[in-house]
A and B are shown apart, each in its own frame.
Chain A
Amino acid sequence: MTLTLALAGNPNCGKTTIFNALTGSHQHVGNWPGVTVERRSGFFPGPDGPVEVVDLPGTYSLSAQSEDERIAARFVADPAVDVIVNVLDASNLERNLYLTTQLLELRRPVVYALNMMDDAEKDGLKIDLPALEKLLGGPVIPTVGNREEGVQALREAILKVAKDPGSAPGGSVNYGHDLENELVKIEREIHRDEELARACPPRWLALQLLERAPAAAGPVELSHARKAITAQVQASLDFLEPHMGADGATLVAERRYGFSHGLVGEVLIRSLRTRMDLTARLDTVLTHRWLGIPIFIAIMIAVYSLTFVVGKIPQDWIAGGFNLLHAWAGDRLPPGELTSLLVDGIIPGVGAVVVFVPIIMLLMGCIAFLEDTGYMARAAFIMDRLMHLMGLHGKSFIPLIMGTGCNVPAVQATRTIEAREDRFITILVAPLMSCSARLQIYILIAGTFFRPVQAAFAILAMHFLGFALAMAMGKLLRLTLFRGANAPFVMELPPYRLPVLKSTLIHMWEKGSVFLSRAGTTILAGATLIWFLSHYPGISNRSWSEELHRQEAAVRTLNLAPAEETSRLDDLAMAHQSRVVNTSLAANIGKALQPALAPILDPDRSRPEAWKDSIALTAGFVAKEIVVSTMAVIHHTEAGDQVSDGGAGGLRAALRSRSGLTPLTALAFMVFTLIYTPCLGTVGMILKETRSLLWTGFSVVYGLGLAWLMAWFTILGGHALGFA
């Protein structure tokens, strides 16, 4: 027989460290059915088989107002749960016990982990454990999660209670004479429907009805006794509310806090020693009126550098490794369609996925560190005013800023935002932040078509445009699709704490591996599809490949100097590739789409090669920087030294002479590439984070629409100002 435990507690009570300490490395991360909230479970060995531990989302209550609370409320009431473990922050007992008052109503065995005992002791607090056990009616185990103290005792207490649930009878909250009377009346009506009474503990349901909790309305609505129940609830409220001068929800909350306040008064012994609060001292600096913002910016620069500057080193190794593999496989394998699938499709596709892992792990590590120290809440506190103007949350700022490095981890970083609406809006606008991959396109295009100073301005303008559009779209989404669902900004500023390295490392590892397994498959599938579109049918054209072989053989017989020979061979291969791509399905699609793109990329109908843009843009969907290498192929020049040399490389010359882009259409092209769609990696991540094909599709479609519109405005504006 396996046991199932539910780990419940407030946010910031150290629940995750208790979970890690209980389960060690035996963990599994999934999602709760149908929602985007992570479900972490693990196990530890018990005498009769493994004991499953399910880590519930941290919540302040079970009133089911948010996604997190609904999950927690449903799971603790699930008959499959044998024991509830309620983690309490000993240094903040009164508010933590509010959730406990609700758990007690479920009449299930509860074991209490009185966590952060070290902090409480440093605060000069002493807790009378026997008295607390008596009042709560269950074992209370003092723990220090980050040092794994008390964890063995906690396991033993859990197993003991599981064997003999009677040993944890549970305390009870007294709601006072008037409320208790009415509760009994409502319970009586609930008992008319035995099925309902079995599914929901009647007293718990009655309390929720008095609170007018929307979650309670559902089960009652389905009951045959609903008329009697609703009538009794109404009668009770009609009596209580005028009589006691407040509405049902207030009355119930007051009694719960009354219980918790009284309990704390009985068990808490405050010694005379008061410490100079470390948190208060840190906050006088970190959220200071003048210093707060500069310090925040400095921390952001540090996180950004660690993620994207330090992270670039392993990224370069990975990219280099895949390039070697690509070259090696290309040389060893016989030319053909399967080889091309492997060499040009799968190897770069896998590379495109793996290359994100270092920055994902680093950024997630930084964010976990900021969260665990308590600074994340301060960052949100500092930035909320600005973000709120955009219809976003203070916690949206970090994902957006990180988006300028790479959108993929930026979308993942939105996990820190609790409210679903705030998170979704942030996910939808984050891809508008211009990332470093897009910078490569700007450098190529602006460097080719603008004078140096103009080019720098154009590139800077793209970044500002991205940010401005993110602001505008955030506000627009808040006013339209996410209207009315404004989650309250009631955010705890938890005490500063030293994070546990082990927790941070587990978190980084999880984020990296979950990305590979979930988003990775989407990205690889997309990369293979794009390979197919841009290589067929030309790649299976025998006569073309035979022609290439004949030409290559002819070059080899010339006995040229090795460097000359390689360059001639590369030229031939490139010409062949160019022929394949320019006749591919992607090229046909490009030609078909040309009328749609003409107003923005070819307003004067003067560019015979304008259809090639859409091939580059299609290929750029895999990763935006691929636009550059694709342009090299379709405009048939050496791709090797195009961008970095800054001079008029082959590609620049070719673009200038053949693409037919003017400075104005080049600018429109830049605007379009900024916005047109999140890249495949980002789309994979959006799908993973929203778990909704609809929203993922929406992010692609609105990107395309907005890109077209903005590029069109660019052309119109340019014409109005007299540019051609």
Chain B
Amino acid sequence: MSHQQPKPLSDLHPGDEAQVFQVLAQGRIRQRLLEMGFIRGAHLKVEKLAPLGDPMELVIKGYHLSLRREESQCILVSEED
């Protein structure tokens, strides 16, 4: 498994898997993302995009979650091949 340069979660495509590297968001959104399981090293998989292209559905900590682009671009992940 080779880890590449961290990139925003919003750049991932359906089917991609990654590990959380860092949450860049601040304040309320940061706290919420941490609580929902976006901690360093957490494994996630992008499931799909909504029919209109946003938000994104992903699986983290064994449950399904949807995030808007606004939030997903504030999360840096390292993609897993």
Choice from A63, A293, A385, A489 contacting B35 with Cβ under 8 Å? A63
Nearest CB of chain B from residue A439's CB, rounded to whole Å: 30
Residues of B within 8 A of A92 (CB): 62-63
Instruction: Identify which of residues 22-81 in chain B touch chain A, using a CB-to-CB cut-off of 8 Å.
Output: 23, 25, 28-37, 39-40, 42, 47-55, 57, 61-68, 70-71
Instruction: Identify which of residues 475-510 in chain A touch chain B, using a CB-to-CB cut-off of 8 Å.
Output: 487-495
Complex: how many Å from CA A678 to CA B21? 49
Residues of A within 8 A of B68 (CB): 384, 388, 489
* A65 & B28 in contact (Cβ 8 Å cutoff): yes
Residues of A within 8 A of B48 (CB): 287, 289
Instruction: Identify which of residues 51-93 in chain A touch chain B, using a CB-to-CB cut-off of 8 Å.
Output: 60-61, 63, 65, 92
* A490 & B36 in contact (Cβ 8 Å cutoff): yes
Q: Is A94 an interface residue (CB 8 A)?
A: yes
Chain A residue with the shortest CB-CB distance to B14: A289
* A287 & B57 in contact (Cβ 8 Å cutoff): yes
Residues of B within 8 A of A254 (CB): 39-40
Complex: how many Å from CA A384 to CA B49? 12
Q: A254-B39, A381-B55 given as contacts; is B65 within 8 A of A492 (CB)?
A: yes
Residues of A within 8 A of B63 (CB): 92, 95, 492, 494
Chain A residue with the shortest CB-CB distance to B57: A493
Complex: how many Å from CA A257 to CA B33? 12
A360-395 interface code vs B (CB 8 A; 1 in, 0 out): 000000000000000001000110111010000010
* A257 & B37 in contact (Cβ 8 Å cutoff): yes
Chain A residue with the shortest CB-CB distance to B33: A490
Residues of B within 8 A of A250 (CB): 23, 34, 39-40
Q: A94-B62, A287-B51 given as contacts; is B39 within 8 A of A257 (CB)?
A: yes
* A249 & B32 in contact (Cβ 8 Å cutoff): no
* A385 & B52 in contact (Cβ 8 Å cutoff): yes
Complex: how many Å from CA A382 to CA B52? 7
Nearest CB of chain B from residue A290's CB, rounded to whole Å: 7
Q: Is A288 an interface residue (CB 8 A)?
A: yes
* A491 & B66 in contact (Cβ 8 Å cutoff): yes
Choice from A61, A63, A382, A488 contacting B51 with Cβ under 8 Å? A382
Chain A residue with the shortest CB-CB distance to B42: A257
Complex: how many Å from CA A427 to CA B53? 27
Chain A residue with the shortest CB-CB distance to B29: A488
* A63 & B31 in contact (Cβ 8 Å cutoff): yes
Residues of A within 8 A of B47 (CB): 283
Complex: how many Å from CA A98 to CA B66? 19
Residues of B within 8 A of A384 (CB): 50, 52, 54-55, 66, 68
* B34 & A253 in contact (Cβ 8 Å cutoff): yes
Chain B residue with the shortest CB-CB distance to A60: B35
Q: Is A292 an interface residue (CB 8 A)?
A: yes
Residues of A within 8 A of B52 (CB): 293, 382, 384-386
Complex: how many Å from CA A98 to CA B62? 13
* A381 & B31 in contact (Cβ 8 Å cutoff): no
* A95 & B57 in contact (Cβ 8 Å cutoff): no
Q: Is A193 an interface residue (CB 8 A)?
A: no
* A98 & B35 in contact (Cβ 8 Å cutoff): yes
* B53 & A385 in contact (Cβ 8 Å cutoff): yes
Q: Is A105 an interface residue (CB 8 A)?
A: no
* A489 & B55 in contact (Cβ 8 Å cutoff): yes
Nearest CB of chain A from residue B34's CB, rounded to whole Å: 4
Complex: how many Å from CA A288 to CA B14? 13
Q: Is A246 an interface residue (CB 8 A)?
A: yes
* B66 & A381 in contact (Cβ 8 Å cutoff): yes
Nearest CB of chain B from residue A484's CB, rounded to whole Å: 10
Residues of B within 8 A of A94 (CB): 37, 61-62
* B51 & A489 in contact (Cβ 8 Å cutoff): no
* B65 & A488 in contact (Cβ 8 Å cutoff): no
Complex: how many Å from CA A60 to CA B34? 11
* B50 & A382 in contact (Cβ 8 Å cutoff): yes
Complex: how many Å from CA A717 to CA B32? 49
Q: Is A211 an interface residue (CB 8 A)?
A: yes
Residues of B within 8 A of A253 (CB): 34-35, 39
* B31 & A211 in contact (Cβ 8 Å cutoff): yes
Complex: how many Å from CA A147 to CA B49? 35
Residues of B within 8 A of A249 (CB): 30-31, 34
| Top 6 A-B pairs, shortest CB-CB distance | A253-B34, A385-B52, A493-B64, A488-B29, A61-B35, A292-B51
8 A-B pairs (CB sep. < 8 Å): A213-B31, A254-B39, A381-B57, A490-B29, A490-B33, A494-B63, A494-B64, A495-B64
Since A60-B36, A382-B50 are in contact, a sample of 18 more A-B pairs with Cβ atoms closer than 8 Å, ordered by chain A residue number, is A94-B37, A95-B61, A95-B63, A250-B23, A250-B39, A253-B35, A253-B39, A254-B39, A257-B39, A257-B42, A287-B57, A288-B51, A290-B51, A385-B55, A388-B68, A491-B55, A493-B66, A494-B64
